[in-house]
Structure 1
Amino acid sequence: MTLSSWTTSSVEEVASTGPGIRFFQLYVYKDRNVVVQLVRRAERAGFKAIVLTVDTPRLGRREADIKNRFTLPPYLTLKNFEGLDLGKMDRINDPGLASYAASQNDQSLSWKDVKWLQTITSLPILVKGVITAEDARLAIQAGAAGIIVSNHGARQLDYVPATIMALEEVVKAAQGRVPVFLDGGVRRGTDVFKALALGASGIFIGRPVVFSLAAEGEAGVRKVLQMLRDEFELTMALSGCRSLKEITRNHIVTDWDPPRAAGALARL
């Protein structure tokens, strides 16, 4: 589970819920002392990695938030920032988190910040928001321990490619030096299968968990995770794969592939 910096539950609250592997999603702020404090708290709470968000030096134009006049309800706050010298929480107003992010995010974010983070934590640093081979190579050169192919739920910049379309390019650029993960657009077990076949080391899901939580609470989340697992196992069985290692690129046909015999599982 990857916990956002902008969550309404603190790292300590989430850590107290029981065992599990947890990563901390970090944004880099103008006040680097705030970054240090957040990283230290994540370390003390037992989080296993820092997920550095690199595609949000500025918040995208999120028209749904503007249309819906999104604001946090008065009974919710960004818990990870309580007690920190980061300005008043009431700066979070229409349109949502935009004014807060614009006032606090460091727009000069660069690859040097990956190296700087390595000086303040021994946790592995995963770079989230990479969708090109060039950025994958730069991330690895900067010392990233892993890459998450992500377009921020398609909420940052219109017309960026779907992550499944960008995945193979990034995997090839990484050349096995670091694990490459994917998030975005995963709705079925077949989506997980396709991502693994294209070289992903693992898959993150977001909206299915949020939607199921809203609909049926914890039971809903358990149900959606089981659905994805069942669909994935069925896909493996019907594709003749007895283990994850047997899921290969040959199971996928893409529009950029040269023509070949039919029989692959899916066309992207």
Structure 2
Amino acid sequence: MTTDRTHAKRRRALTVTIGIALGIGALITAFPFLWMLTTAFKPQRESVTFPPTILPEAPTLQWFQILFTEMDFGRYLVNTILVVLIGFIGLMFMAMAGYAFAKFDFRGRRWMFFLVLATMMIPIQVTMIPTYLILNGMKLTNTLVGIALPTLVSGFAIFLFRQFMTTIPTEMLEAARLDGAGEFRTFWQIVLPMSKPILAVQIVLTFISGWNSFLWPLIIASDQKLYTLSVGLALLNQQLAVNPSLQMAAASVMVIPILIVFIVFQRYVIQGFALSGLK
């Protein structure tokens, strides 16, 4: 009994120690984010004082107002949201492709899936010039559609959908077909509802990809009115010499929506990756 109590005390001590270590690590990791948020509400004189203060002594929303009234960040925000929404259209195409690779047997399926996987091995920088020339020939340069179109479909997303949809029982699909359901109805009413976890994963990944898009919008858009938030943030840092509060306010506008989306979908994201067989 004494030995069991000793082991139990050691386990509790180890658990407490691990908890404290993880808590300290979490605080260290989150500190830059907290500093960004608090600095966004500081007056300029307070953000450049030394020694610095963590919490603002006189909080203000001045910098957020300047971003959307004087710095054209409202337009950048609308452009970014439109790029993300266009990217969401591709989710259905990628889900259909993943479903076809998972549940249909057709000639050339393996080779076609191999080509999809091969696109994941090609750096995006290699395809930028050909993509630009194609869009230029289609008169889509300097347009929001041209910014969003290259990211409409992703080989990695098709792979994720395929991996998840192989776990859907084929018997359920055959039963639906025997009941008279067409392929589109089977996909829409059976496959998609069962694929909520992987859809959540793709919603998060698509949102992050579109929201953080920087290099391609900078290349394809020559009109500043078509810039996204990330390009506008880089432009802001070049225009201002010293104004940490305004820069942190712009960074907060960039980061907070991503955190909100991830917090909302995190349960489905973890479940989706687990059921897709990814480690």
Measured against the shorter chain, the TM-score band is: under 0.3
Greater percentage in helix: 2
* TM-score, scaled relative to structure 2: 0.20
Task: Give the number of the structure with larger relative contact order, counting CA–CA contacts within 8 Å between residues 6 or more apart.
Answer: 2
TM-score normalized by structure 1? Answer: 0.20
